[in-house]
Structure 1
Amino acid sequence: MRIVRYAVGGVRHYGEFEAGDARIVRCEGDLFTGLAPTGHVDEVGDVVILPPLERPRVFGFAYNYASHVDETDRDVPEVPVCFMKPSTAVIGPGEAIVYPTDGELIHFEGELVVVIGKEARHVKPSEAREYILGYTCGNDVSDRIVQRKESAFGTLLIGKGQDTFAPLGPVIATGLDPSGLSLTTRVNGTVKQSASTADLLLAVPDIVSYLSRHLTLLPGDAIMTGTPSGVGPILPGDEIEVEIEGIGVLRNPVVAESL
């Protein structure tokens, strides 16, 4: 399934895209215990596509592609480098990434995102997929100047967690094998990142297992798995596209902050 969260007349629904993505089969039920078609179909032009999850906890994995480790001139981490983004950082397809008034160097980072489907604790890698609902696209927007200053003191929040710095979508794709999906990021139509999730240093089952070893994962948690090489700056007026095989294209414009 390619599950989409959307609104019609201010009422929110989950549904499934039909082939061609022009229509959505509206569903009833719960995202985590089961959705069933209602028989009603909505035209995409009549709806607003929302973030696929409502206020999720967002976890991130840094330096999880060797190519990105190389471009940052660092060593491969001895342990996974993790961080979190506030739920208020999450936006959906078509929503604007806000470039802060005091921003100096804001980067895009295209990533595969894991969506947790049920509570997970002390999960073995071989069992991890039983706890995964599906996958979506993500953009780990980062304020590099703030990030570097925070990281120098062993912290990381504002550099990654500002409002609109976690675009997710457009759908939650279920039934995918995450071990070799193509990932492409474009800025204004120009390809900036092109990689495969086969190149993840810590694969998806290991990511879920590692986090669940140390904390309880909850239904609706989103895990950004890391970005490959090619990250770079964005500016107001740009449009960023993150495309992942089997999921679709997450597209967001960039606008200047208005106070």
Structure 2
Amino acid sequence: MSIPGPWKQVKKTTDELKMLGIRLDIILMQVLKSGNNSLFWLNYWIGNEILSIKFPILFGLEREKGCTLADSLIMVNGEICSTWGWLRTPCSGPEMVELRELLQLCQNVVLEDGNDKVGWDLDDLGDCPACGEADETTGHVFVSCSLAQAVWQAVSTWCMVPHIFAFSIRDILELYKFIKGSKRQAKFFHAVYLVSVWCLWKARNDIVFNGMAVTAEIVVGNIKALGYLWVKNRSGGSSCLGRIGVSLRYS
């Protein structure tokens, strides 16, 4: 049983970052519309856990592990109905326990016209609080805002990797795939990118809710501190950077 795409890596890293108080599941939650762009088992879209992890027995029985919500749930007369493609019908005690919990979890889901997206719902909230130059959308806050652009440039310089080019938060999630080096190096950079997303989100909230003046330098400083903390938490010491072959620019 395996989780395809970037989500296996995201799951492992986000679990480690949760121990530092970094809740990326809040940011990576799918905002549902039709369900066509959200993977039922493999995306964060309901609760606080990917369903393939929450219901591992049922996930093992699922024929199409990469199915979307639109493949798995349909609206009939205003009520949600399931259309899962089981390899065989769930019947054992543990299977039925998971199935009942899954049905209860899905009973209030509503699907409607429109495209799903990654992130929290920022529609109609007005201008971006960081730059005031564009509507505040998830893609703008994390990718195209001048604050985000400055942060990604600084993160690239700090990690001594090519400049980060992304058009969506999903692109950010998959950046680790293009890192040249070992799997350990890729995982480290992946964690740095996820920490960066978290720090941009925190910066946005500091501006909106706390009236703070936030600069790229402040955000990058937080990214560096949390990045080193993540390494230390995983390895028992920052010397792990040398062991995995990662060099950072100390400026």
| Shorter-normalised TM range | under 0.3
Larger % of strand: which? Answer: 1
TM-score between both structures, scaled by the size of structure 1: 0.27
> Which structure has the greater CA radius of gyration?
2
Larger % of helix: which? Answer: 2
TM-score between both structures, scaled by the size of structure 2: 0.28
